Structure 1
Amino acid sequence: MSTTLRINGKAISVTAEPDTPLLWVLRGELQMNGTKFGCGMALCGACTVHKNGEPIRACITPLSAVGDADITTIEGLQGPEANALRASWTTLDVAQCGYCQSGQLMSACALLRKTAKPSDADIDAAMGGNACRCGTYPRIRAAIHQAASTHRVAL
C-alpha cells in the first residue's frame, strides 16, 4: 500500500502496510538510520522522533497513526535549540557509545522548545523515557542546562 508521509519537511511516498511501525519505514525503506532500534516496546527512547513537534516512539507508531503529520527525525532536526544542544553535547562530551544519542537529542529539543529554562525536575520528566546504557545522565542534564542558557543568550 502506498502512503505519502511528510518527513523532515518533504513529502515522501512509501510502500508499506498501515500497521507497519514508522521505525521500519524510516530505517528499512528510507535508509534514515539516525533513528535507532532499541527495545521495540517504547521503553528505551532510541527511536524517538517528533510528530508535529511532540516526541513519539517510532517503534510502536504504526503508519496509520502518522497520517499527514509532520515527522522530524534526527536527520532533519534544526533550529536554535537543536544547534545549542549539539554544541553543548560536544562541549561536555556527552556521548560515549552514542547509540541512544539521537533519541536523547530529540527529547531534549522538544523539552527546550516548550520550556526555555528547564529545572532538573523538568529535565528528568522529559528525559525519563530515554535510557543510556553508558550512564551519561549527569552529562546529559548538564548539556541541556548549558544549551538552555546558550539558547536564551542567542535569542
Structure 2
Amino acid sequence: MILERFSMLDRIVAHDAETLTAEATLPLESPVFEGHFPGFPILPGVLMIETMAQAGGWLMVSRLAFERMPLLAKVGEAKMRGMLRPGDAVTIEAKLVHDGSGYAVLAGRIRDAAGKPVADAEYTLRTLPFPEESLRALVRARGTELGLP
C-alpha cells in the first residue's frame, strides 16, 4: 500500500461480475501516520473508505471492460469498527448492489488478518468514459499489476 499515491490495494485475489476481494498491508511508515496520531499511528477512517471505494472501482472497471472509469460519488452508512495500525494485513471486499444509469452502488468491507470486520460502507460510484486513451492505458496497466485479468 502506498498511501501518498492513494494506491490502496496490493493485489486482487478473487473477482467475478458481482464481487471483488483484494488484500493489502499497511506500510510500517508513512507521513499519514506522523499526524494520525503522534505516538499511536492509525489509518484514518477516510482512507479506509478510500480503500473500499478502490476495490469497488476495480470491480466496476473490470465489469465494464475498461470502457468507463469509476469516481466516488457518495458514501453512506460508513462504520469504522476498529483500528488499523502500521504493518496490519487486511482483506478488502466489494460487492455490487446495483448498477445502472451511469451509477453503481456497492457494499464494501475491510477485515483484519483474523477476519474481524474493521470497517464497512455502502457507497456510490459514478462511471464515466475515460477522458483520454492514455489514462485508460495506465489504469489497464495498474489493473494487470494488481492481478486483474
| TM-score, length basis structure 2 | 0.31
Higher strand share: 2
| TM-score, length basis structure 1 | 0.30
Higher helix share: 1
